[in-house]
Amino acid sequence: MSKKLFVLLVILMSLSLVGIIFVQAYYINNTLENEKQRFTFNVKKTLSFVADRVEKRELRQYVNRIQKYVYLQQEAPDSTAIRNIIYYQQDEDSNETTVYRNGIVEENFTLPSTFFEIGLDTINIKRIFNERETQVFKNDDLEDISQLSDEERLFQMKRDIKRSEEIQFETFYEDNAFKIPIHKRVTRKEIDRLLTKKLKDEGITIDYEFAIYDKDLATTIQSDNFELDNSTYQIPIFNETKNSDFALLINFPGKGKLIFSSVITSLLMSILFMAIIIFAFYKVFSQLIKQRKIAEIKNDFINNMTHEFKTPIATINLALDAIKNPKIINDRDKVTRYLGMIKEENKRMHAQVENVLRISKLEKRELNISKENVDIHDLIEDAITHVQLIVEDRQGYIETHFNAEATSVLANESHFTNVIVNMLDNAIKYSPEAPKIDVSTENIANNIIIKIKDQGSGMGKVAQKHAFDKFYREQTGNIHNVKGHGLGLAYVKQIIDDHHGYVSVESEKGNGSTFTIKLPLIS
């Protein structure tokens, strides 16, 4: 995958992820807004219902009282017929009498002030109305209506009341009701009962607080813990005339929790899916980066391996060409020398191949490592002998500082010797000048600590982090002073992990490195 394609793919994936998160956030916010609007609509609907019920109840009570007084008072009202036409028609064949009446009548009533509980002695009501009716009576059944009881007379008179007359009483009520104190028009218990019932019908069961305010002033009709705030809902009540400024208010201390709980399932599902998408994106993105790094490392590995093989192959070819030379083939010493070179170069290539195969087998758990009781100091001494000549040839040294008293561990002698050799070889390769290496041991608790310290070129923080990764080699631009495949330390870590140990490195650029191995002792 090219770098441009990789960058484009990452950008597209990032934009897609941001888009999905934005859509989910918009959906969640929109759902919350819809729930708030639905809640507000239901509350307003409830308040309107309660205000309407209270107003109609009061109107009905006063109209009924006025009507009852008008139609059942002992004395007839002061009535004046402004215009009155009465027409009678008798039909002897059917034994019926038809009475038709049409006129304009003015009636004057005097009501006690208790109807509106104001400070006047009496209230005078004047009613002007059109009276028109047609009645048919059987001549044998005619009786005086005055002989009926009050209840029968009220029923008969109410039955004859037209809607226009009721409107007259309603108008009278509306024009005078505002004079009545609010606590005599409605009770806290009535408001609470109506609110509870209607809110339950609308699916709202949380606690609420309510009050009736006159303009900005609180009245005595309110719940115990009502507080006016920005989240209070209100609607006019008793707004019969412009002289009335009463409002029914309600608020819900637990409104936020109710709205949030209504969308909690959708919210949690959205968060879960977003988390899965983000996690998947992270894994894909990290895998892409990892694959790209692996591709780069493998390319470097192939280049280094090719370079490493070119030298021994070229050396072998030159040696074979020299042996085939008639002047050389009869020279036994030179032939022996060239054959030795071929053998050494062949061993070198074989060791490189084995190193790669060894790592592969370790990763697949196919490498059988048998362990036995060994002495760590003996293994270190044996490993030093493998590199001693190289160090001396470069005029360096390897000094040992064996401070550990307990040195018995359970290990594979061959593999662990290779571990020490690899680490010593690494210290030699990264020492530009004469190699100066110190190997020390000490006991800490039930472990033996082995430290291999050099005074070479050291490594940076990034290189320390990846020092034991397979194929990793510190980037040095186009300079390849140190050859290798990035497999040696990876092999070291695999073997030490298999021995239930721990390996780490401390280094500073230009000041050498210290590799530390910790292994459990045999009790």
Same domain for 508 and 419: yes
Same domain for 395 and 491: yes
Is the pTM here over 0.85, yes or no?
Answer: no
Q: Tell me which DSSP letter residue 178 carries.
A: G
Residue 484 lies in a domain: yes
Residue 236 lies in a domain: no
Across the range 507-518, mean pLDDT stands at 90
Residue range(s) defining the domain that contains residue 319: 294-361
Same domain for 357 and 372: no
Across the range 213-229, mean pLDDT stands at 87
**How do residues 282-300 score in pLDDT, each as one tens digit?**
888 788 777 777 777 667 6
Residue 462 lies in a domain: yes
Same domain for 421 and 319: no
CATH number of the domain at 443, please: 3.30.565.10
Give the residue, 18 or 86, on which the prediction is more confident. 18
Residue 36 lies in a domain: no
Residue 414 has pLDDT above 90, yes or no: no
For residues 286 and 292, give the distance between their C-alpha atoms in angstroms, rounded to a whole number.
10
Residue 324 lies in a domain: yes
Report pLDDT for 485: 46
Same domain for 319 and 380: no
Same domain for 463 and 400: yes
**Nearest of 235, 254, 303, 181 to residue 50 by alpha carbon:** 235
**How do residues 243-270 score in pLDDT, each as one tens digit?**
568 899 999 888 877 777 777 777 788 7
Same domain for 516 and 373: yes
Across the range 168-192, mean pLDDT stands at 77
For residues 454 and 436, give the distance between their C-alpha atoms in angstroms, rounded to a whole number.
6
Residue 463 lies in a domain: yes
Same domain for 433 and 385: yes
Produce one character per residue of 103-141: b if its CB has 16 or more CB atoms within 10 Å, e if not. Answer: eebebebebeeebbeeeeeebebebeeeeeeeeeeeeee
For residues 51 and 55, give the distance between their C-alpha atoms in angstroms, rounded to a whole number.
6
Same domain for 301 and 316: yes
Report pLDDT for 154: 44
Which of residues 335, 361, 387 is at a domain's end? 361
Which of residues 361, 384, 414 is at a domain's end? 361
Given strand 122-138, what is the order of strands in its sheet?
Answer: 78-91, 96-112, 122-138
Residue 313 lies in a domain: yes
Report pLDDT for 160: 47
Mean pLDDT over each residue of the chain, to the nearest integer = 76
Which of residues 305, 340, 361 is at a domain's end? 361
Give me the number of domains the chain comprises: 2
Residue 131 lies in a domain: no
Same domain for 350 and 416: no
Report pLDDT for 444: 92
Same domain for 420 and 314: no
Report pLDDT for 452: 93
Task: Please check whether residue 492 is in contact with residue 468, taking contact to mean a CB–CB distance below 8 angstroms.
Answer: yes
Residue 211 has pLDDT above 70, yes or no: yes
- Residue 478: C-alpha distances to residues 64, 73, 297, 473, 475 (Å): 107, 120, 15, 13, 9
Same domain for 373 and 402: yes
Q: In angstroms, how far apart are the furthest CA atoms of the chain?
A: 171
For residues 347 and 458, give the distance between their C-alpha atoms in angstroms, rounded to a whole number.
30
CATH number of the domain at 316, please: 1.10.287.130
Task: Identify residue 177 by its one-letter amino acid code.
Answer: A
**Nearest of 212, 255, 218 to residue 234 by alpha carbon:** 212
Please state, as a whole number, how many other Cβ atoms lie within 10 Å of the Cβ of residue 215: 7
